[in-house]
Amino acid sequence: MVNEKKISSGFIYFFGAFGGILFGYDIGVMTGALPFLQNDWNLQNNPSAIGWITSSLMLGAILGGALAGQLSDRLGRRKMILISAIIFAVGSILAGIAPHNGVLFMIVSRIILGLAVGAASALVPAYMSEMAPARLRGRLSGINQTMIVSGMLLSYTVAYFLKDLPETMAWRLMLSLAAVPALILFIGVLRLPESPRFLIRNNKINEAHKVLSYLRSDKDQIASEIKQIQDTSKKEENHKASWGTLLSGKYRYLVMAGVGVAAFQQFQGANAIFYYIPLIVETATGNAASSALMWPIIQGVILVLGSLLFLLIADKFKRRTLLTVGGTVMGLSFVLPAILNLVIPNASPMMIVAFLSIYVAFYSFTWAPLTWVIVGEIFPLVIRGRASGLASSFNWIGSFLVGLLFPIMTATMAQEAVFAIFGAICLLGVLFIRIRVPETKGRSLEEIERIGQNRQGKERSA
């Protein structure tokens, strides 16, 4: 244990979730840094280099998420968050001191940073859900999303205030400053206790009881929760799932639904906006991207407000309803600028930016948080670990491909056409939700598992 002194639940929840802020900062920081880096290294006519520098973070995250889940079962959630904070700091500083025109050095630095980003994406929700009482778990995905988008907004704001520095100093400071919240995370997590679930799985019952006493006021509730965790751990040990189990007839329907939602969230193109909004505005208006750094802040504010709205409405609407409405408006927001551009060739070039803001608004309280709510609810216990990891991997793969291909696509075709392609994917996502994804709101995990088995049985007999 950390020490005998009681640690407040507020302190535990704050620093337990703080990794989300770091995750968001590193996802968003390249948005502000890229216009300066592009000019400093003369990359305007090298869309491939721009794509690789931006997307290499996600390449590392694919590996980091997969490794963190397995290592945290051996080393503990807390220790892995501490290791991630160190990697965050090292990757940030390496990116900031990259040699001039050191594209390969920058890509490797971003891959290292991505290891920590991927680890945070897996560790923070797991740690928080294992520390919080059952009545708070429904909102945890929303709170985690709020932390992530707050980190993105922080990176956009830092970029805006550093924009008047010399180019080479501006982008280096933007990237290096991520080491500051990484240090804060490390110091905070040093005082955090280990997850009670991890402690019980390693037969440290007294320590788990002590941790739960920080977070629960009812002694009977603590005893009941420890017994429930012990029972669940035994079930998991008795039902080891292989990768082949995911594709078995019993689980295939639910696995395809959860993984499909996670993949569509990224292939719909949201990160094309978050990574490249200054360059999008530059293409639309002809003004320098470095003068468009207020737009990321606007998008960041919309994301934060949307995540707060989700916390208010999360339990009031069905999951499929919110995803259908959000996906439809998102798709139309991408498709309409291309149509209007054909009908009204002289329309304001900022029209596309206005539609992108509508897209971000609806994404922020539908697909952004709900993807992870569904991933947390839809997989049966026996396969949950592997299936959640598979869904996360497909999500990061989608993020990587969008980050890599967007600048290459916009170099070869009109910007409106690229977004129209993403719009079509949004509408396909809505179709997928209506046909392949069951409603999970208000249903127990056992009910959802039965629905999946019944649907799979009907498909086999059809």
Six token digits for residue 125:
């929700």
Cα–Cα separations (whole angstroms), residue 303 to 9, 38, 133, 139? 27, 26, 27, 17
Q: Say what the alpha-carbon torsion angle 430, 439, 131, 236 is, to the nearest 10 degrees.
A: -110
Sign of dihedral through CA atoms 345, 348, 349, 351?
Answer: negative
Q: What pLDDT was estimated at residue 231? A: 78
How far apart are alpha carbons 173 and 271 in whole angstroms? 23
pLDDT along the chain (462 residues), means of 10: 61 83 89 93 93 93 82 86 94 96 96 91 78 67 82 94 94 95 92 86 86 80 81 69 74 91 95 91 81 90 94 87 98 94 82 93 95 84 78 89 94 93 97 94 75 70 55
pLDDT for the residue 133: 73
Structure tokens at 175: 């990237």
3-state secondary structure of 221: helix
pLDDT of residue 135: 64
Q: Are 426 and 363 in contact (CB under 8 A)?
A: no
The CATH class of the 243-457 domain is mainly alpha
Measured distance CA(391)–CA(246) in Å, rounded:
12
The pLDDT, as a whole number, for residue 1 is 42
Assigned token pair, 152: 């993105």
Dist. CA 390–CA 260, nearest whole Å = 10
Q: Treating both helix axes as pointing N-terminal to C-terminal, what angle do 270-285 and 9-40 enclose, rounded to 10 degrees?
A: 40
Q: What is the pTM of this model?
A: 0.85
- Tokens matching residue 254: 């639910």
For residue 3 the two structure tokens come to: 């020490």
Question: Can you name the CATH fold of 8-192?
Answer: Growth Hormone; Chain: A; (1.20.1250)
Distance CA 174, CA 310 (A): 30
pLDDT for 364: 95
Q: Let me know: does 270 contact 401? Beta carbons within 8 Å.
A: no
Residues 6+ apart with CB under 8 A from 140: 125, 128, 129, 132
What is the reported pLDDT for 134? 62
Token pair for residue 282? 């530059």
For 203-209, the CB contacts below 8 A with 24+ separation are 207/1
DSSP structural state of residue 290: G
- Residue 3: the pLDDT is 45
pLDDT at 2: 43
| Torsion sign, CA atoms 138, 140, 145, 150 | positive
Contact 144, 128 (CB under 8 A): yes
Separation between Cα atoms, residue 351 and residue 221, nearest integer Å: 56
Determine the pLDDT at residue 175. Answer: 96
Give me 130's structure tokens: 């294992």
